[in-house]
């Protein structure tokens, strides 16, 4: 099953070898790459050696291709990118930018929302990030 994750700004693919690769900056301005598992709901994360992030810290995410900010403008501490599945269906993926928080939403083209992760309940109204 070939899944492609895209930057919403340049539509460059941001996944390779089962990882979603994001450029990241910690709150104390350390920079590096964050590798997220491409399976939604799998919260395995690998960070570059130059990026040391503590649980609960808020991380800024950028596209590794065009460097546009992936942080959402509405709502706190979320970032967004796109996912295209093997049928060509496109959905938005919204993740928490709080390190260690297990929270992901996907929103498909019919605005159907799926949620993943045990921290998701604190975002009661996900409408505002659409």
Which residues sit at the interface with Zn ion, rule CB under 5 A? 7, 9-10, 12, 63, 65-66, 68
For the CB of residue 121, give the shortest distance to Zn ion in the complex, in Å: 31
Q: How far is the CB of 35 from Zn ion (least distance, A)?
A: 17
Q: What is the smallest separation between the CB atom of 49 and Zn ion, expressed in angstroms?
A: 24
Contact residues for 118 (Cβ-Cβ < 8 A; gap 6+):
102
CB of 63 to Zn ion, least distance (A): 3
For residue 122, CA distances in Å to 52, 89, 104, 106, 116 come to 26, 28, 12, 16, 12
Q: Measured from the CB atom, is 68 or 82 closer to Zn ion?
A: 68
Q: How far, in Å, CA of 114 to CA of 31, rounded?
A: 31
Is the CB of 9 or the CB of 37 nearer to Zn ion? 9
Among residues 26, 67, 63, 68, the alpha carbon closest in space to that of 47 is found at: 26
Closer to Zn ion at the Cβ: 51 or 65? 65
């Amino acid at each position: 099953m070939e899944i492609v994750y895209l930057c919403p700004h340049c539509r460059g693919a941001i996944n390779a070898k089962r990882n979603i690769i994001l450029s990241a900056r910690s709150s104390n301005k350390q920079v590096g790459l964050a590798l997220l598992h491409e399976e939604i709901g799998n919260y395995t994360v690998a960070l570059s050696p130059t990026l040391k992030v503590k649980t609960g810290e808020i991380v800024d995410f950028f596209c590794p291709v065009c460097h546009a900010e992936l942080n959402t403008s509405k709502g706190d501490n979320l970032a967004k990118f796109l996912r295209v599945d093997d049928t060509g269906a496109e959905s938005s993926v919204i993740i928490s930018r709080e390190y260690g928080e297990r929270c992901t939403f996907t929103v498909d083209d019919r605005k159907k929302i799926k949620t993943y992760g045990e921290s998701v309940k604190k975002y009661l109204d996900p409408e505002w990030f659409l």
